[in-house]
């Protein structure tokens, strides 16, 4: 399938990677929790890892395997695990791979709930340094003897910071540090986290991947670049067979099986359908976002636009070098004295909602909602003032979006 274009691959991926006995072109949503073994020796061998088989659907089932195969193909990996939500993927990977006393370096510009989770990890005895990942030097400076991994988002929400992705990848490779990239905001159709050196690629499937705001999901793909023989926290019982699979084995056993945030089969099936149009939807949303950002750029009613596609964006060149489009997320800052609540209320087509990565264009005030739990110092460091509105651009006809924003801005 690699020789085909992205949309062709996406449309045919489920059928090609997961052929069905009856010729069905979709993987069915298989809801069986239990699996029968005709020979009791087989269930023994399955439990002992000597044969691959589904034994209980908390750990694995065919519909999840189908989705894992497609995500793995898209991220050019050597294996994938799926989870109930993006947050489940992040928290499970961390809790499976870290131990008390480890140090990790994470981005200072994180999805709010991810930041909140890392602060919780600090209470469990894990040292966490939050650093400005737009320059690899900050990561280098934060490194300690007990550092085991670096975590960042490719394109941050809501202020669209771009991490120094390849430079951090190169540094981690040299230091034998695990490098985890949350690629939710720049899915594989515009950015290959593997090409930037990521060891593990995490995605919230809830956003662009499924795209229609009707299902939650998360995934982690192992790119095969990291040598797990250098990772001290792999349990001896998982240090068997191909060392490339040790990390995912521990994530499956300690994470998915023991912590239990399993993706339901109907959700996996819905996500697979969404994936078919990922490239079409995302390219259209990126194009709309680029046009809107240009429209907003010198707008008298807008103080600032944060969009990586603008030459004025501080990491414009990082974005240009890594991504084939500049994403579909932006934030705008309205001038002092403009009531952002009233501005959002005047929007007719654009929906006020906390979601993003949807087919529909969405708006939300930032400081007052998703950053409500953050301290003032954290908001200042991230550049979040009380006048910031986040926009997740959808696939509508762009002229309709421009007209809606114009009437709301000029009222
Ligand atoms: C939404 C999001 C998550 C969490 O995903 P859920 O599926 O909502 O749990 C994680 N990371 C980023 C960058 C996100 O945008």
143 and 268 inside one domain? yes
User: What's the alpha-carbon Rg for the chain, to the nearest Å?
Assistant: 22
Q: Is 46 a domain residue? A: no
- List, as one string, the DSSP characters of 14-80: HHHHS--TT--SS------SB---SSHHHHHHHHTTSS----BTTT--HHHHHHHHHHHHHTT-SEE
Residue 272: predicted pLDDT: 98
25 and 142 inside one domain? yes
Residue 293: predicted pLDDT: 98
288 and 238 inside one domain? no
Q: What is the pLDDT of residues 23-32, one digit of tens each?
A: 999 999 999 9
Mutate to test the pocket of ligand 1, among 200, 206, 356 (most ligand atoms within 8 A of CB): 206
143, two tokens = 């490194």
| Domain closes at, from 232, 257, 275 | 275
Residue 87: predicted pLDDT: 98
Length of the chain as a residue count: 411
Contact 101, 125 (CB under 8 A): yes
Q: Are strands 127-131 and 147-153 parallel, antiparallel or unpaired?
A: unpaired
Residue 245: predicted pLDDT: 97
Give the DSSP letter of residue 245.
G
Q: Is 136 a domain residue? A: yes
Contact 358 CB / ligand 1 (< 6 Å): no
Mutate to test the pocket of ligand 1, among 204, 220, 274 (most ligand atoms within 8 A of CB): 204
Peptide linkage before 158 cis (omega within 30 of 0)? yes
148, two tokens = 């085991």
Which residues, in sequence order, are bridge partners of residue 103?
Answer: 127, 147
What average pLDDT does this structure show over 374-386?
A: 88
Output phi, psi for 320, to 5 deg.
Answer: -60, -40
Q: Is 40 a domain residue? A: no
Sign of the dihedral defined by the CA atoms of residues 356, 362, 366, 369, in that order: negative
End-to-end CA distance of the chain: 51
Contact 80, 71 (CB under 8 A): yes
Alpha-carbon span 62 to 101, nearest angstrom: 37
Give the DSSP letter of residue 332.
E
389, two tokens = 């509105």
113 and 184 inside one domain? yes
- Residue 287: how many other CB atoms lie within 10 Å: 16
Q: How many domains in the chain?
A: 2
Q: How far is the CA of 363 from the centre of ligand 1 (A)?
A: 17
pLDDT exceeding 90 applies to what percent of the chain? 95
338 by DSSP, 3-state: which?
Answer: coil
194 and 238 inside one domain? yes
Mutate to test the pocket of ligand 1, among 93, 109, 113 (most ligand atoms within 8 A of CB): 113
79 and 212 inside one domain? yes
Q: What is the pLDDT of residues 147-182, one digit of tens each?
A: 999 999 999 999 999 999 999 999 999 999 999 999
271, two tokens = 């996500």
Q: How far is the CA of 87 from the centre of ligand 1 (A)?
A: 6
Q: How far is the CA of 411 from the centre of ligand 1 (A)?
A: 34
Q: Are strands 147-153 and 178-182 parallel, antiparallel or unpaired?
A: parallel
158 and 302 inside one domain? no
Q: Is 48 a domain residue? A: no
Supply the range of the domain harboring residue 98: 6-30+61-275
Contact 218 CB / ligand 1 (< 6 Å): yes
Q: Which atom of ligand 1 is nearest to the CA of 206?
A: 7
Contact 216 CB / ligand 1 (< 6 Å): yes
- What are the helix (H) ranges across 176-331? 246-250, 258-259, 265-275, 278-297, 316-322
In the numeric block, the tokens 């990521």 are attached to 198
Contact 82 CB / ligand 1 (< 6 Å): no
Question: What is the arrangement of strands in the sheet containing 329-333, beginning at the earlier edge strand?
Answer: 304-306, 329-333, 388-392, 362-365, 351-352
Contact 67, 219 (CB under 8 A): yes
Q: What is the pLDDT of residues 302-334, one digit of tens each?
A: 999 999 999 999 999 999 999 999 999 999 999
pLDDT at 14 over 90: yes
94 and 76 inside one domain? yes
Contact 114 CB / ligand 1 (< 6 Å): yes
Q: Is 113 a domain residue? A: yes
Q: Is 38 a domain residue? A: no
| Domain closes at, from 275, 305, 335 | 275
Contact 87 CB / ligand 1 (< 6 Å): yes
Q: How confident is the model at residue 1 (pLDDT cuts 50, 70, 90)?
A: confident
Residue 374: predicted pLDDT: 85
Contact 185 CB / ligand 1 (< 6 Å): yes
* Closest residue CA from atom 1 of ligand 1: 204
Residue 361: predicted pLDDT: 98
CATH number of the domain at 305, please. 3.90.1150.10
CATH number of the domain at 239, please. 3.40.640.10
247 and 305 inside one domain? no
pTM above 0.95, yes or no: yes
Contact 184 CB / ligand 1 (< 6 Å): yes
Mutate to test the pocket of ligand 1, among 67, 181, 184, 392 (most ligand atoms within 8 A of CB): 184
Q: Compute the mean pLDDT over every residue in the chain, rounded to the nearest whole number.
A: 96
Q: Is 51 a domain residue? A: no
Q: How far is the CA of 339 from the centre of ligand 1 (A)?
A: 28
| Domain closes at, from 254, 275, 296 | 275
Alpha-carbon span 181 to 322, nearest angstrom: 13
Q: Count Cα neighbours of 390 within 13 Å in the Cβ-side half-sphere.
A: 24
What average pLDDT does this structure show over 370-378?
A: 88
Q: Is 139 a domain residue? A: yes
Q: Which atom of ligand 1 is nearest to the CA of 153?
A: 13
Alpha-carbon span 360 to 12, nearest angstrom: 25
Which residues, in sequence order, are bridge partners of residue 156?
Answer: none
133 and 253 inside one domain? yes
322 and 406 inside one domain? yes
Mutate to test the pocket of ligand 1, among 89, 111, 117 (most ligand atoms within 8 A of CB): 111
Q: What is the pLDDT of residues 291-310, one digit of tens each?
A: 999 999 999 999 999 999 99
396 and 314 inside one domain? yes
């Amino acid at each position: 399938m690699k020789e085909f274009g992205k949309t062709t691959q996406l449309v045919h991926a489920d059928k090609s990677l997961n052929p069905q006995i009856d010729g069905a072109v979709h993987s069915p949503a298989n809801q069986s929790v239990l699996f029968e073994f005709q020979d009791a020796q087989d269930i023994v061998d399955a439990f002992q890892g000597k044969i691959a088989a589904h034994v209980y659907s908390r750990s694995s089932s065919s519909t999840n395997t189908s989705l894992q195969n497609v995500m793995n193909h898209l991220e050019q990996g050597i294996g994938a695990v799926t989870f109930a939500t993006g947050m489940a993927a992040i928290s499970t990977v961390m809790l499976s791979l870290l131990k008390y006393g480890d140090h990790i370096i994470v981005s200072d510009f994180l999805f709010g709930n991810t930041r909140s989770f890392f602060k919780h990890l600090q209470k469990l005895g894990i040292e966490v340094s939050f650093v400005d990942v737009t320059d690899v030097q900050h990561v280098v400076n934060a490194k300690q003897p007990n550092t085991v991994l670096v975590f960042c988002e490719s394109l941050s929400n809501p202020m669209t910071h771009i991490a120094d992705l390849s430079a951090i990848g190169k540094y981690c490779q040299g230091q034998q540090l695990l490098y985890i990239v949350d690629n939710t905001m720049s899915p594989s159709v515009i950015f290959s986290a593997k090409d930037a050196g990521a060891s593990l690629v995490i995605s919230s499937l809830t956003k662009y991947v499924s795209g229609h705001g009707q299902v939650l999901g998360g995934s982690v793909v192992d790119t095969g670049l990291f040598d797990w023989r250098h990772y001290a926290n792999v349990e001896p019982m998982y240090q068997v067979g191909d060392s490339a699979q040790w990390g995912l084995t521990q994530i499956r056993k300690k994470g998915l099986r023991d912590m239990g945030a399993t993706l339901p089969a109907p959700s996996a099936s819905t996500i697979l359908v969404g994936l078919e149009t990922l490239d079409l939807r995302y390219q259209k949303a990126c194009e709309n976002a680029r046009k809107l950002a240009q429209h907003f750029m010198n707008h008298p009613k807008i103080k600032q636009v944060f969009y990586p596609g603008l030459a004025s964006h501080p990491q414009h060149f990082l974005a240009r070098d890594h991504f084939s489009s500049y994403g579909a997320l932006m934030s705008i800052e309205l001038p002092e004295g403009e009531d952002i609540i009233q501005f959002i209320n005047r929007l007719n087509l654009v929906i006020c909602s906390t979601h993003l990565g949807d087919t529909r264009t969405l708006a939300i005030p930032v400081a007052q909602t998703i950053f409500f739990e953050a301290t003032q110092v954290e908001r200042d460091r991230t550049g979040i003032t009380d006048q910031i509105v986040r926009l997740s651009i959808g696939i509508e006809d762009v002229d309709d979006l421009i007209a809606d924003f114009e009437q709301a801005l000029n009222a």
